[in-house]
Amino acid sequence: MKKPISFLLAFIQLFFIGLVSAQDAKKEKLISLQDSNTGLIKLNSNSYERFTEGKRNYGLVVLLTALDSQFNCVPCREFDPEYNLVAKSFQKNKDSKNLFFGHLDFKDGQAVYQKLKIMSAPNVFYFPPQQAGEHKEFVKYDLARSGFSAESLAEFLTKQSGYKVPVSRPLNYLKLATKVFLVVGAAAILKLLYRHFGFIINHKTTWTILSILIVLTMTSGYMWNRIRTPPFLMPGKNGEVNYIASGFSSQLGVESQIIASVYGVLGFSILALIKSVPQLDQTSQRLGVYIWMACIIFIFSCLLAIFRIKNGGYPFKLLL
């Protein structure tokens, strides 16, 4: 009775030893392939299945591309060097034996493309470690939302894998020298121009005008337009053209120019009433007050009318 039990125990022990050895063999193979190709592992359909299926005591990142000239995949060519940079940078990390970077091109992995029903490239998948019997789905890196930069990919992998993924870009000496040359040249030109036009920079009127322009630009919704890039105009009913979008959550491109102009004229009218009118004779002062007050009331009425378009429920108006 003892012999069958000992044989059974020995068999189970050998089974687990073989299983662990098989897992170690997969990891050792990945390490060997990584060291021989500066951190990047070239995959085909068979090696992709081998390293992504079953138990994994490592994390694996796979880039799927279609770099062949017949596909003309511009995004693939743009993203490939960024991905290679992340892989090469991580090879110097102390955790480089626990997270690997693979690359599968369409010409070497058509079976994988068909199996996953992939119709576009590039794609980046992260396969986390998994135990025997588990089936963890890969995590896809959203290139459209996160972008093609190596830094964005490294941030994604750091969050998913738990390992710090750095990006070490090589120094571009030509670009650096060009920037230094341009800075020195600009400084020399400014020094020469300052002798003749320095009084403009030091004059308070220059800074007053510049400050007013910045205030008008920022209060008109210019930054919203830069971020959201709305249409400049919008067609309305019966062939009309809408210059102002209703509601506070939307805006047209021309709308910021209209608001800046309204604020500018309103501010100029108040300034004229304060500065220019007191310098006139008594008869002209009375006329100037009437003119500029009428201008202020009319422009403010326009501003209130625009507010009513934005907020349809606003019940008050001035003139318009």
279 has pLDDT over 60 = yes
- The mean pLDDT value for 213-228 works out to 87
For residue range 161-204, what is the model confidence (pLDDT) as tens digits?
999 999 988 888 888 899 999 999 999 888 888 777 777 778 88
Between CA 124 and CA 142 the distance in angstroms is 8
Query: What's the token pair of residue 69?
Result: 């000239």
For residue range 67-88, what is the model confidence (pLDDT) as tens digits?
988 888 999 999 999 999 999 9
Between CA 82 and CA 85 the distance in angstroms is 5
Quick one: pLDDT band at residue 64, thresholds 50, 70, 90?
very high
Assessment of whether the complete model's pTM goes beyond 0.75: no
Decide the pairing of beta strands 99-105 and 59-65.
parallel
pLDDT of residue 239: 72
- The mean pLDDT value for 209-237 works out to 85
pLDDT of residue 14: 45
Higher model confidence: residue 222 or residue 18? 222
- The mean pLDDT value for 290-308 works out to 90
pLDDT of residue 18: 46
For residue range 4-34, what is the model confidence (pLDDT) as tens digits?
555 555 445 544 444 444 447 888 888 888 8
Give the 3-state secondary structure of residue 309.
Answer: helix
pLDDT of residue 313: 81
pLDDT of residue 247: 81
Query: What's the token pair of residue 190?
Result: 């400014």
- The mean pLDDT value for 297-315 works out to 87
Quick one: pLDDT band at residue 317, thresholds 50, 70, 90?
confident
pLDDT of residue 21: 44
pLDDT of residue 181: 92
pLDDT of residue 6: 53
pLDDT of residue 12: 53
**Residue 266 near residue 303, CB atoms below 8 Å:** yes
pLDDT of residue 101: 94
Maximal C-alpha separation, the chain: 128
In order of 63, 92, 106, 140, the CA distances from 98 in angstroms are: 17, 12, 26, 19
pLDDT of residue 49: 92
Mean pLDDT for the chain overall: 85
pLDDT of residue 13: 52
Higher model confidence: residue 38 or residue 115? 115
Give the 3-state secondary structure of residue 141.
Answer: strand
Q: Tokens 């007053």, residue? A: 208
Share of the chain above pLDDT 70, in %: 93
pLDDT of residue 43: 93
